[in-house]
Amino acid sequence: MLRFIKIFFLTNALLGAVVLYAGNKDIELLGAGATFPYPFYSKLFHVYSNAYNVKVNYQAIGSGGGIRQLINKTVDFGATDAFMSDKELKKAPMQIIHIPTCLGAVIITYNLPNRPKLKFSPEIISDIFLGKIKMWDDKRIKAVNPGVKLPRMKIVVIHRSDGSGTTFIFSDYLAKVSKEWANEVGRGKSLKWPLGLGGKGNPGVAGLVQQIPGAIGYVELIYALSNNMPVGIVKNKSGKYIVPSINTVSLAANIKMPEDTRVSLTNTDAKDGYPISSFTWLIVYREQDYGGRSRDKAKALVDLLGWIIHDGQQYAEPLHYAPLPKEAVKIAEKVLKSIAYDGKPILK
Amino acid sequence: MRRVLFSGKFIGVIQREANIDSDRAFKNILYISGIIVLILVLGIFVSLTLNSFPSIKAFGMRFLTGKEWDPVSREFGALPFIIGTFLTSFIALLISIPFSLAISILLGEYYKKGILSSTLNTTIELLSGIPSIIYGFWGLFVLVPIVRAFEIKFGISPYGVGIVTSAIILAIMIIPYSASLGREVISLVPADIKEAAYSLGATRYEVVRDVVMPYARSGIFAGFLLSLGRALGETMAVTMVIGNSNLLPSSIFAPGNTMASVIANEFTEATGNLYFSALIEVGMVLFLLTTVINIIGRIAIKKMAFEGGQ
């Protein structure tokens, strides 16, 4: 018994020493939120913590969870695919600011014999997902796809079953291009789908689409590119048919941005932009002096954010994310400079 | 050992008191563990009730009868999930009964020992030890195409996923539970009453039908209830093959959703108090449902045991 107690105390002392040592050496930043940019973030944080002595621990628990955790002040930063609404911001205990980190897009994928390249107009997409276009050889699909042999097959709609930023971006787009969609379904991370099957996550949707002949679904661009899935070409607001790619997604952000960076890029005004694109954001409190946080920690956080919008951008493209355009970086810089500690700005 | 070494009267007394002390401590630990379990279950129920209060206040009974589940306009009715849960679980139970009954008779009556018995037993135990995600994958890649081929042949919408597919997966998952309990009670049927039946000229089939089954009835029934409870709460495998449609299923081949799987799907991104609370209320309904089924089971077992005794 005595020996057991001895060992117990010894290990405790050792453990304490290790913790103290680690605590002295590094600053640890905690983040949580969106799953969509997770591969990008984990690469960024890995590179960053090797270069600077700052550990970043990011949990991909979903955008909603990220916002909740920031509001509860259990993390240093949150991450979200859909910017917080005015109503959500008002509910937060202090002012929250958004910093865009990269762009993502949602693409239409389908399962048809011979993998034809298909064009879609916004009306066709919304009517398929509303259940009004039921067959693949519908004359409206034929009209925008001259020369493509469309089979007489039933369209099977596949959607996400879990709440997700991907669904939000997709439904936000549909609500903008179709009045009927806006009235009957609306926009949100989970929806009341008028028809179809649900798959969990991008792999769930992709799996169902690949299995069911005649299926159509939506997944993130990065997922479609890395899995070589058929990708629909979508007509944008200026009437151009745009092939989704990292380039056309970046181009979607070629618009005038608001000061707080909270802007929806779906159905973008940009002439050559892919219309179902979106920023993804990190969210932090503007005033960093809360809950007994040290100035060093606040400084480390701002440095990390600054590094992400500048040097970090080079890691986006190899991972199929679209980097921020210059205009967006400039505005993000301004936002970053507004972050303060005890009322005084951290960056000069 | 120690008492021999220090064989003084004094030490002996201390030792005996220490024994009594440790005995008391042991008893206390048992009591405390029991009470903690009670408190835990009660605590779960209380926190579910508290958290679902906003939703109860907003919808009342409409929550149980409403067909609309619309997070955008914040209208929540859980009927499609309640029906989905019942349909999948009961169909699964129906499918599983012939198999689990046959296995329990085979192992409890025909082959109590031997290679066949131990192989089958291990296999069944393995079946219950497989993580449900693996059942889900198997369902998605093996069962779903089979069901789809069947659906194409009969001119039903060829989804492959849906209520029936998840019921089949569930049936396979719950067989071990009812089969192992069934085997246990069948093997406990006293040999003398079976021998009495044989001595009257009964065949083996007649002994199983008229002696073994009535005697083991309540235990077998308890096994079915246990497996039904498992089916009601199963989440992962069902989510992967049910089609996750929040509409009322139009047939057993249609996609649907269950209470457990809607919680698993939507909980992480449930922003907004009412949405969150509605999902918790779904959890509470599931909790109550399982409790009620358990209570019905207890009553039925008591009643049957009484009849069986006569």
What's the pLDDT tens digit per position in B115-169?
888 999 899 889 888 999 999 989 988 999 999 888 888 878 788 899 999 999 9
Q: Nearest CA to B268 among A81, A124, A19?
A: A81
Q: Give the distance from residue B239's alpha carbon to the nearest chain A alpha carbon, in angstroms.
A: 8
- B268/A61 Cβ within 8 A: yes
**Does A47 have pLDDT greater than 90?**
yes
Mean pLDDT computed over A226-245: 92
Token duo for residue B297: 């089971």
Interface of A with B (CB under 8 A): 61-65, 67-68, 88, 154, 156, 161-165, 185-193, 195-200, 204, 207-208, 211-213
pLDDT of residue A142: 92
Cβ proximity of A280 and A37 under 8 Å: yes
**Does B238 have pLDDT greater than 70?**
yes
Give the model confidence (pLDDT) of A57-116 as tens digits.
Answer: 999 888 888 898 999 999 999 999 888 888 889 988 999 999 999 998 999 999 999 899
**Does A249 have pLDDT greater than 50?**
yes
Q: Give the distance from residue B2's alpha carbon to the nearest chain A alpha carbon, in angstroms.
A: 16
Mean pLDDT computed over B189-211: 91
- A187/B159 Cβ within 8 A: no
pLDDT of residue B306: 55
- Chain B residues whose CB is inside 8 A of the A166 CB are none
**Does B68 have pLDDT greater than 80?**
yes
- B69/A65 Cβ within 8 A: no
Kindly indicate the confidence band of residue A202, based on its pLDDT and cuts at 50, 70 and 90.
confident
B226 against B15, higher pLDDT: B226
Domain residue limits, chain B: 1-59, 65-309
Kindly indicate the confidence band of residue A8, based on its pLDDT and cuts at 50, 70 and 90.
low
Cβ proximity of A230 and A115 under 8 Å: yes
Beta bridge partners, A215, equal: A156
Mean pLDDT, chain B, as a whole number? 87
- B240/A204 Cβ within 8 A: yes
- Chain B residues whose CB is inside 8 A of the A164 CB are 269
Mean pLDDT computed over B42-69: 92
Q: Which of B68, B160, B261 sits opposite A192 (nearest CB)?
A: B68
Name the strand (E) or helix (H) holding B69.
strand B69-70
> Residues of chain A with pLDDT > 70: what percent?
93
Q: Nearest CA to B298 among B45, B306, B86?
A: B306
pLDDT of residue A101: 94
Lowest mean pLDDT among A247-261, B8-22, B151-165, B281-295: B8-22
Q: Which residue of B has its CA nearest to A68?
A: B271
Give the model confidence (pLDDT) of B77-107 as tens digits.
Answer: 999 999 999 999 999 999 999 999 999 999 9
Q: Which of B157, B158, B268 sits opposite A62 (nearest CB)?
A: B268
pLDDT of residue B218: 83
Mutate to test the interface with A, among B262, B271, B273 (most CBs of A within 10 A): B271
Mutate to test the interface with A, among B79, B156, B244, B273 (most CBs of A within 10 A): B244
**Does A211 have pLDDT greater than 80?**
yes
pLDDT of residue A24: 44
Mean pLDDT computed over B193-205: 92
Q: Give the distance from residue A233's alpha carbon to the nearest chain B alpha carbon, in angstroms.
A: 26
Token duo for residue B127: 């079946």
3-class secondary structure, A41: helix
Q: Which of B72, B144, B275 sits opposite A211 (nearest CB)?
A: B144
3-class secondary structure, A257: coil
In angstroms, rounded to a whole number, what is the distance separating the alpha carbons of residues B304 and B310? 10
Name the strand (E) or helix (H) holding B116.
helix B115-129
Q: Which of B68, B245, B265 sits opposite A162 (nearest CB)?
A: B265
Q: Give the distance from residue B40's alpha carbon to the nearest chain A alpha carbon, in angstroms.
A: 26
Angle made by CA atoms B178, B181, B183, in degrees to the nearest 5: 105
A84 against B307, higher pLDDT: A84
Q: Which amino acid is at B32?
A: I
> Residues of chain B with pLDDT > 90: what percent?
48
**Does B12 have pLDDT greater than 90?**
no
Strand locations in chain A, DSSP E? 27-33, 54-59, 77-80, 96-110, 119-120, 156-160, 197-199, 215-220, 233-235, 241-242, 277-285, 340-341, 344-345
Query: Is B65-309 CATH 1.10.3720.10?
Result: yes
What's phi and psi for B238, nearest 5 deg?
-65, -45
pLDDT of residue B11: 61
Mutate to test the interface with B, among A162, A169, A170, A185 (most CBs of B within 10 A): A162
Q: Which residue of B has its CA nearest to A203?
A: B240
pLDDT of residue B158: 81
Mean pLDDT computed over B192-206: 92
pLDDT of residue B188: 86
- Chain A residues whose CB is inside 8 A of the B73 CB are 186, 192
- Chain A residues whose CB is inside 8 A of the B140 CB are 207, 211
Q: Which residues contact A133 (CB under 8 A, 6 or more apart)?
A: A124, A127, A140, A141, A155
pLDDT of residue A11: 58
Token duo for residue A131: 């259940």
Cβ proximity of B284 and B52 under 8 Å: yes
- Backbone conformation region of residue A216, classed left if phi is above 0, alpha if psi is from -120 to 50, else beta: beta
Q: Is ipTM strictly over 0.95?
A: no
- Chain B residues whose CB is inside 8 A of the A165 CB are 269
Using the structure block, give the residue that is written with the tokens 């979508």.
Answer: A234
- A68/B244 Cβ within 8 A: no
Q: Which residue of B has its CA nearest to A188?
A: B72
Q: HSE-up of A140 (CA within 13 Å, CB side)?
A: 13
pTM (predicted TM-score): 0.80
Q: Give the distance from residue A264's alpha carbon to the nearest chain B alpha carbon, in angstroms.
A: 18
pLDDT of residue B1: 45
Kindly indicate the confidence band of residue A127, based on its pLDDT and cuts at 50, 70 and 90.
very high
Give the model confidence (pLDDT) of A329-347 as tens digits.
Answer: 999 999 999 999 888 888 8
In angstroms, rounded to a whole number, what is the distance separating the alpha carbons of residues B93 and A93? 50
pLDDT of residue A20: 46
pLDDT of residue B63: 92
Mean pLDDT computed over A142-148: 91
Kindly indicate the confidence band of residue A203, based on its pLDDT and cuts at 50, 70 and 90.
confident
